[in-house]
Amino acid sequence: MAETTQLELVTPIRIMAQQAVEMVVAPGVEGLFGVLPRHAPLLADLTRGVVEVHENGKVTDRFMIDGGLADVSGESVTILAERAIHLGSADAAQLKTQAAEASDDEAAFLNAAIAAL
């Protein structure tokens, strides 16, 4: 069995993910970065983009986030995001409807999520 790190992705509204994973790739303000088990401690600012969860050498889950903070330790990565959408269960038509009724900033986030689907 491969080593894992504990992922927790949290928004102000709810916990989006809480699971053991092999790797997480996150959109840092200075570019994408990966987190593997036993990663050196790191605190990173995040930008709007996709967080990828990797298992068995492939992407198994994806979340669109709207900026935030990643707190990485040797055993875990905690992502605190302003907003997040689970792309695996998102419905493009529903997101388009929400974007049409949203503020400019939220509409831009929703349209980015639609593009990532």
Give a three-class secondary structure readout of 20-32.
EECEEEEEECCEE
The pLDDT tens digits of the residues spanning 1-59 come to 579 999 999 999 999 999 999 999 999 999 999 999 999 999 999 999 999 999 998 99
Instruction: Look at the domain 5-86 and name its fold.
Output: ATP Synthase; domain 1 (2.60.15)
- The residue extents of the domains of the chain are 5-86
Structure-token match 């200075």, residue found = 30
Whether the CB-CB separation of 24 and 37 falls below 8 Å is answered with: no
Q: At what angle do helices 104-116 and 92-101 cross, to 10 degrees?
A: 170
What is the distance between the alpha carbons of residues 42 and 28, in angstroms, rounded to a whole number?
A: 11
What is the distance between the alpha carbons of residues 9 and 60, in angstroms, rounded to a whole number?
A: 15
The pLDDT tens digits of the residues spanning 70-88 come to 999 989 999 999 999 999 9
Length of the chain, in residues: 117
What's the confidence (pLDDT) of residue 1? Answer: 58
What's the confidence (pLDDT) of residue 2? Answer: 79
> How far, in whole angstroms, is CA 83 from its chain's centroid?
9
